[in-house]
Amino acid sequence: KAGVTQTPRYLIKTRGQQVTLSCSPISGHRSVSWYQQTPGQGLQFLFEYFSETQRNKGNFPGRFSGRQFSNSRSEMNVSTLELGDSALYLCASSSGTGRETQYFGPGTRLLVL
Amino acid sequence: TQLLEQSPQFLSIQEGENLTVYCNSSSVFSSLQWYRQEPGEGPVLLVTVVTGGEVKKLKRLTFQFGDARKDSSLHITAAQPGDTGLYLCAGPHGSGNTGKLIFGQGTTLQVKP
């Protein structure tokens, strides 16, 4: 079974631009969660999508948004990028029906200049 | 607010030594998970502990869940250079039926040959 894939793996943007990251979950998984990882804050939850609906949301500003498609693939978008948005963005997938394991993708490394 | 505190934050040891990493909280968690992350990659699940007092072994790694389900520990026996990485504990937010995980800050382990 293929694992969670994320594209692109690396991205360089400048302040004020916007960016879209993509996540393809493990086949059959309906839940996709997004996390931001930085050296100072560690791993912080952004949001979770289940069956195309946002089911849970972390404490991030509205510049961070996401969506999920009918095939469970998910995208997250960050508008008006700030230097502090530089981070590793991770997505994780699970079946979403209980307290099951989340499987993480390799992440997208975003650098904002 | 559910928080997980890990200690120590950094650990540098010689090959063959033993070590223990701690993950503590003032909140009760329905389960706790331990992940290992290597640079540029996503976290990989090592184990999930569910029952208070539970002990699980994975080769040279021993995981324990506290009786009150507020803390956990990871013990590595005879550490090897291949054990080098970032170790993260995580627990599900709230009742655990959503895809939101709370992460500890992580323990960076370096095992020198």
SS3 A55: strand
Chain B interface includes A19 (CB < 8 A): no
Q: How far is CA A94 from CA A64, A99, B70, in A?
A: 22, 9, 24
Q: How far is CA B97 from the centre of its chain?
A: 21
Chain A touched by B90 (CB under 8 Å): yes
B68-87, pLDDT tens digit by residue?
999 999 999 999 999 999 99
C-alpha distance from B89 to closest chain A C-alpha (Å): 11
- pLDDT tens digit sequence for A40-96: 889 999 999 999 999 889 999 999 999 999 999 999 999 999 999 999 999 999 987
| More confident: A38 or A100 | A38
Contact by Cβ (8 Å): A112, A19: no
Beta strands A87-94 and A103-104: pairing type? Answer: antiparallel
Count contacts between A and B (CB, < 8 Å): 66
pLDDT digits (tens, 9 = 90+) for B23-70: 999 999 989 999 999 988 999 999 999 999 999 999 999 999 999 999
Contact A42 B103 (CB under 8 A): yes
- Within 8 A of A32 by CB-CB distance, chain B residues are 99
Burial B52-85 (b: 16+ CB within 10 A, else e): eebebeeeebbbbbbeebbbbbbbbeebeeebbb
* DSSP conformation class of B22: E
* Residue B33 near chain A (CB below 8 Å): yes
CB contacts of B35 in chain A (<8 Å) are 104
Indicate if the pLDDT at residue B98 is higher than 70.
Answer: no
Question: pLDDT tens digits, residue range A84-99?
Answer: 999 999 999 998 776 6
